[in-house]
Amino acid sequence: MLRRTLLGGLPALMLSAALLPHTAMAQTAAPSVDAPVTISFYNYNLASAGLGGEATRKLIAEFMEANPNIIVEGVAVGSQDMASRLQADMAANRIPDVAQVVFDSLAFVADNLGAVALEDAIPADELAAHFEGMIPAGLNLGRLDDKTYALAYTFSTPVLFYNADLFVEAGLDPDNPPRNWQEVRDAAAAIAETTGAGGFNGSLAGGGAAGFDWALQGVLLSNGGGVLSDDRATLTFDDPATIEAVQMLRDLHEAGIYENMPSEVMIEQMNSGRMGMLLTTSAQQNTLIRAAEGQYDLRVAAMPGFGDRAAVPTNSGSGLVILSEDPVKQRAAFELMKFLTSERGYTIITSEIGYLPLRPSIVDDPAYLADWVEANPLVRPNLAQLERMQPWAAYPGQSYRQIARIFLDAVELAVFGGADVEQTLTAAQSQAQSLMPR
């Protein structure tokens, strides 16, 4: 399918002739949507009764107004169930068109569910034009084997929220938040001792992880460890640097400053001013700010690292993936994706839901986020660490969920359950490795 250009006549022919040898395979998406088409948009923000759902509905409505030929049918599925639901519907021959895929299942969705690589569907220059202005580290999140399967949509990185009032009460300097784990430990101990509040908690292990290992991976990467080898064939739970990082968390627990509690409980404690530090997704920001207002001084610091090394933040969240094979629907889906990942899209996502803008330019642009950032300076440390971000590694194969569960269970046991760290992680590695694809 040759792309029609506005140039008529010979120059166009010559241009096409020059281009022809370079396009090994034509892009599959239709050039435009000329007749009404309906696409299904599987989305997990729609499945919760809160800000996420409202903002998403708003975005969809705005998009449909600007694109009268495209009707977007939102399908609400919980984030934990997204990949399974996509799989089930595809198995039943009801192909979803575009989906908000949590990054941990990206490999599965790409290899098993036939996610469409953007390079295969959309002409290269259109892609390049759209990608301009996006942080390279962000674009990288959706790439597997040099192809872009997902456009980072709602995602964030771990940041250290802390209660400045508790810091002061414990004799610490709130303007100098902890920058590495040793400092976190010292600060948490001081807070726990003098104020009786919780010292530290985070979306890392046990209940706080809420079933996803993204933030934990960041801690491991910060120590030079990780979960997956570069060739994505071997699990590295038993890597010495990984074990060391988990041991560090275990030490925090043994010092009495890091307790096992579900995600919503640790946030509740933070909101009631009874938690010193909380390492969690920056998407939590709006809720935390709202609760802290008039109650305590909430501040944000970058993710702590090990020793002198800068931390390696990983991303949480989701990317938008095209699953449809129909050319017109692919085009419609991409139009939706373009809107959702445009300056306007990220403005809503950041200011109303709390995720990160993949386009840093809008942060200082008065037409978009400048005023909001002015009023909510807490987002800045997050933006600053975006460049160091590395992707949340997705386990390959059909048993990826079981692998992730085995890993998280092992870490919970090692950190909070008193089990020997090395033994537990090694056992987990060998059991999970047998579940990797051959």
Q: Which is nearer to another protein, 255 or 265 (CB)?
A: 265
> Can you tell me which of 211, 256, 307, 377 binds another protein, judged by CB under 8 A?
211
State the Cα–Cα distance between residues 211 and 199, nearest whole angstrom: 23
Taking CB under 8 A as the rule, does residue 127 contact another protein?
no
Determine the 3-state secondary structure of 321 from DSSP.
Answer: strand
- How many C-beta atoms surround the C-beta of residue 374 within 10 A? 10
Coil/strand/helix, residue 288: helix
| Residue 221 found at the interface with another protein (CB under 8 A) | no
User: From the list 8, 20, 22, 93, which residue makes contact with another protein (rule: CB under 8 A)?
Assistant: 93
Please report, as residue ranges, which positions from 381 to 420 form the binding site for another protein (by CB under 8 A): 398-399, 401-402, 405-406, 409-410, 412-413, 416-417
Please choose, from the candidates 38, 113, 54, 61, the residue with its C-alpha nearest in 3D space to the C-alpha of residue 82: 113
Q: Which is nearer to another protein, 2 or 233 (CB)?
A: 233
The whole-angstrom separation of Cα 291 and Cα 239 is: 40
Taking CA atoms, 354 is separated from 73, 102, 159, 388, in Å, by: 24, 17, 13, 20
| Per-position x/- string for 333-372, each x denoting binding to another protein as judged by CB under 8 A, each - no binding | ----------------------------------------
Binding mask 21-50 for another protein (x = CB under 8 A): -------------------------xxxxx
Helix (H) or strand (E) holding 179: none
In the complex, what is the shortest distance from the CB of residue 94 to another protein, in angstroms, rounded to a whole number? Answer: 6
The residue from 329, 351, 428, 429 that contacts another protein (CB under 8 A) is 428
Is residue 294 at the binding interface for another protein, with CB under 8 A as the rule? Answer: no
Helices assigned H by DSSP within 92-201: 106-111, 118-121, 124-131, 136-140, 164-169, 181-195
Q: To the nearest 10°, report the CA torsion of 247, 253, 257, 259.
A: 130
Nearer to another protein, 222 or 382 (CB): 382
> For residues 140 and 426, which CB has a smaller minimum distance to another protein in the complex?
426
Helices (H), 255-341: 263-271, 285-292, 327-340
The residue type found at 271 is N
The distance of closest approach from Cβ of residue 20 to another protein in the complex, given in angstroms and rounded to an integer, is 31
Q: What residues contact residue 129 under an 8 Å CB cut-off, 6+ apart?
A: none
Stretch that binds another protein, among 5-13, 79-87, 147-155, 227-235 (CB under 8 A): 79-87
* Binding string, residues 51-70; x marks residues near another protein by CB under 8 A: --x-----------------
Alpha helices in 9-81 (DSSP H): 9-19, 51-66
Identify which range of 17-25, 125-133, 221-229, 428-436 contacts another protein by CB under 8 A. Answer: 428-436
Under the criterion CB under 8 A, does residue 166 sit at the interface with another protein? no
Place of tokens 């899209």: 345
295 forms part of the interface with another protein (CB under 8 A): no
d(CA 325, CA 333): 11
Contact at 8 Å (CB) between 203 and 215?
yes
Which of 16, 23, 67, 84 lies at the binding interface for another protein (CB under 8 A)?
Answer: 84
| Residues of this chain that bind another protein (CB under 8 A) | 46-50, 53, 74-77, 81, 84, 87-94, 112-114, 206-207, 210-211, 260-265, 267-269, 271-272, 274, 284, 287, 398-399, 401-402, 405-406, 409-410, 412-413, 416-417, 427-428, 431, 434-435
